[in-house]
Structure 1
């Protein structure tokens, strides 16, 4: 009997672990997930004529092509800037090395 009271007290201690019959959501949100039919109120309905649909698709393709070209241009610009920065950095390092060599040789000549 004591073990039974002990189990109940443990269950009451952590009420979040207790089983609840209360629904987790106020409405059934999974109702439309497992349907085999397409919606009739969207873009795939027969309300849009084929030629207008083709125009819309062509506009989407043109916008996508323009976006790809824009991204490509940005890539090329960033590569050019990176190469320029590398060139300037290497140039600066070489100039510094030449200055150090000349300073070292002048010190050796003076001694």
Structure 2
């Protein structure tokens, strides 16, 4: 508008009232509401749908959606044993019992 000489001296902006008051408390409350919404949204979602959202968010570079959906997947995986994780993610165990035992010895911290 200014470059086309449509206004002289600037662009008029109307006064408005914000719906949220600024400050750390308001931001923290807004973040808590957002996290609660995300939890409710993703908790109702089937595993396959959640994985589809993760793929779509990654493809679209939707970082907040990707972070939220990945957090849900991590929460679902938390506390599961290796066999439970294999079943959940549909992974086949390609290790022989000897190889698996060696891996468990080398990485015992991961199996505690």
* TM-score with structure 2 setting the length: 0.23
| Greater radius of gyration (CA) | 1
Higher relative contact order by CA 8 Å / sep ≥ 6: 1 or 2?
2
Q: Whose helix fraction is larger, Structure 1's or Structure 2's?
A: 1
* TM-score with structure 1 setting the length: 0.24
